[in-house]
Amino acid sequence: MGQALPKPALRPFLATDTPVLAAIFAASVEELTGEDYSEAQQQAWAGAADDEEQFGKRLANELTLVATLQNSPVGFAALKGKDHIDMLYVHPGVVGQGVASMLLDALEKLAGGRGAKTLTVDASDNASEFFTKRGYTATRRNTVTVNGEWLANTTMQKTLGEGAATGGPT
Ligand SMILES: CC(C)(COP(=O)(O)OP(=O)(O)OC[C@H]1O[C@@H](n2cnc3c(N)ncnc32)[C@H](O)[C@@H]1OP(=O)(O)O)[C@@H](O)C(=O)NCCC(=O)NCCS
């Protein structure tokens, strides 16, 4: 029998995490979104973390959680205000291991604690299936400009309530 995979853990964002989270952001966009976005779109999107000072301010101004594996950051998620998921990014090396689900569950609980009744996200096309599986439904299709490129995404919404963050039986 092989060894059990280490379990991810969550902790709050620290300013010193900024460079590694910027690197996770860029790697995640560059390696995980190619089926839905062109290379030019990916480069423009990944470029949103090039200015680390500005990126760090964005993370600090929101409620940012960092997922770690053996104490190293492997993903992060940020709640803007009480009811909008601004960011959810996982390092390509650890996708499919439940890291994003763990981050999302925690953000849903924190949003509920802040009094949110619903939670929204402007989901990228590659992430919309992930959010659908977690109970989010599409409400609007958007086209936004990032660093001079047009990118499509979908506003999705979930009503928080009993069992909302538990992913209980369907
Ligand atoms: C979308 C993303 C955050 C998912 O991260 P992850 O850690 O691999 O997600 P999980 O391991 O928690 O996956 C949970 C479930 O979603 C599924 N899933 C994950 N990514 C998926 C995808 N791109 N498409 C379809 N299903 C996906 C998994 O198979 C798993 O299914 P299960 O619950 O039936 O087992 C990650 O792929 C990512 O960082 N993408 C690029 C950045 C991005 O687009 N972020 C979202 C911005 S709104």
The answer to whether 97 and 8 have CB atoms below 8 angstroms apart is yes
> In 84-126, which ranges are continuous DSSP H helix?
99-113
pLDDT of residue 6: 82
Q: Provide the CB-side half-sphere exposure for 44 (13 A, CA).
A: 14
Positions of the chain with pLDDT lower than 50, given as ranges: 164-170
pLDDT in tens, 22-52: 999 999 999 999 999 999 999 999 999 999 9
Cβ of 151 below 6 Å from ligand 1: no
- Give the Å distance between the CA of 108 and the centre of ligand 1: 16
Residue nearest atom 15 in ligand 1 by C-alpha distance: 130
Confidence at residue 1, expressed as pLDDT on a 0 to 100 scale: 54
Of ligand 1's atoms, which has the minimum distance to the CA of residue 95? 8
Total-model pTM: 0.91
The two three-digit tokens of residue 144, written as one number: 């936004």
Instruction: Give the Cα separation of 75 and 93 in Å (integer).
Output: 10
**Ligand 1 contact, 78 CB (< 6 A):** no
Phi, psi of 61 (to 5 degrees): -75, -15
